[in-house]
Chains A and B, each alone.
Chain A
Amino acid sequence: DTGVSQDPRHKITKRGQNVTFRCDPISEHNRLYWYRQTLGQGPEFLTYFQNEAQLEKSRLLSDRFSAERPKGSFSTLEIQRTEQGDSAMYLCASSLGTGVEKGNQPQHFGDGTRLSIL
């Protein structure tokens, strides 16, 4: 399978704990995105990388959230001091970046990490 891979698929943790999720994009894709999806809602954008550079961050991404893509390949999303409101599905997507003049390219999603805060 050469799609976007996310690990773990499910994470249950107590309030106040730190959690880290991993995303492996499609191998030739240089753009990587993180979204959050709550029940009954569409995904909401969190942050985006082109190669290893973090180019956009949503206002939804509080100081407790940090994302990295150290070598421009896989990415990690860490949530510190988790709160009840952090319970959601965290989705990763990847796409090719061909330059702004050619417009946005299709984003392909992984199956997400479902986070439950006790």
Chain B
Amino acid sequence: QQQVKQSPQSLIVQKGGISIINCAYENTAFDYFPWYQQFPGKGPALLIAIRPDVSEKKEGRFTISFNKSAKQFSLHIMDSQPGDSATYFCAASSRQAGTALIFGKGTTLSVSS
């Protein structure tokens, strides 16, 4: 059972464009939703996170949009740059179910110059 479904699997965006990655979750007890960026040979690095009491959070070029009723959240990368080329993972966790993060399968982003 995949509790966090991520799409698309891969994404190609022109430099300066907007990259959008979507995630859907099933467990309504989830109350923390982070996004991680991972480069080859490195561990995941926390980008931005949101809790369900807000619908949007912005940090620099990265924005999370959160739709509680649809059980969906998305990452928007504005003005995408070649240096943003990496694999992105959404995740979710629940205070009720412990602190383990449940990850999506990842999206490989390529930003072409």
**Residues of A in contact with B (beta carbons under 8 Å apart):** 4, 31, 33, 35, 40-45, 48, 55-56, 58, 91, 93, 95, 97, 100, 103-112
Give the Cβ gap from B44 to chain A, nearest Cβ, in Å: 5
Give the Cβ gap from A63 to chain B, nearest Cβ, in Å: 20
The answer on a CB contact under 8 Å between A48 and B106 is no
A-B interface pairs (CB < 8 A), number: 69
When A42-B91, A48-B98 are in contact, do A104 and B32 touch as well, CB less than 8 Å? yes
Tell me which of B45-53, B63-71, B78-86 binds A: B45-53
When A42-B105, A104-B93 are in contact, do A48 and B43 touch as well, CB less than 8 Å? no
- Which one of B31, B36, B42, B102 contacts A45 once the chains associate, using CB atoms below 8 Å? B102
The answer on a CB contact under 8 Å between B51 and A107 is no
Which residues of B are found within 8 Å of A109, using beta-carbon distances? 36, 43-46
The answer on a CB contact under 8 Å between B100 and A108 is no
Q: Tell me which residues from 26 to 57 in chain B have a Cβ below 8 Å from any Cβ of chain A.
A: 31-32, 34, 36, 41-46, 49, 51
When A4-B43, A58-B100, A107-B46 are in contact, do A41 and B32 touch as well, CB less than 8 Å? no
12 contacts between A and B (CB under 8 A): A33-B99, A40-B106, A42-B106, A56-B98, A91-B44, A95-B99, A104-B31, A105-B99, A108-B46, A109-B44, A111-B41, A111-B42
Q: Given contacts A48-B98, A104-B94, A109-B43, could you give 8 more A-B pairs where the C-beta distance is less than 8 Å?
A: A40-B106, A42-B6, A44-B103, A48-B99, A106-B34, A111-B43, A112-B42, A112-B43
Which residues of B are found within 8 Å of A40, using beta-carbon distances? 105-106
A97–B99 CA distance with the chains assembled, in angstroms: 10
- Which one of A58, A93, A103 contacts B31 once the chains associate, using CB atoms below 8 Å? A103
The answer on a CB contact under 8 Å between B103 and A43 is yes
- Which one of B32, B36, B41, B104 contacts A103 once the chains associate, using CB atoms below 8 Å? B32
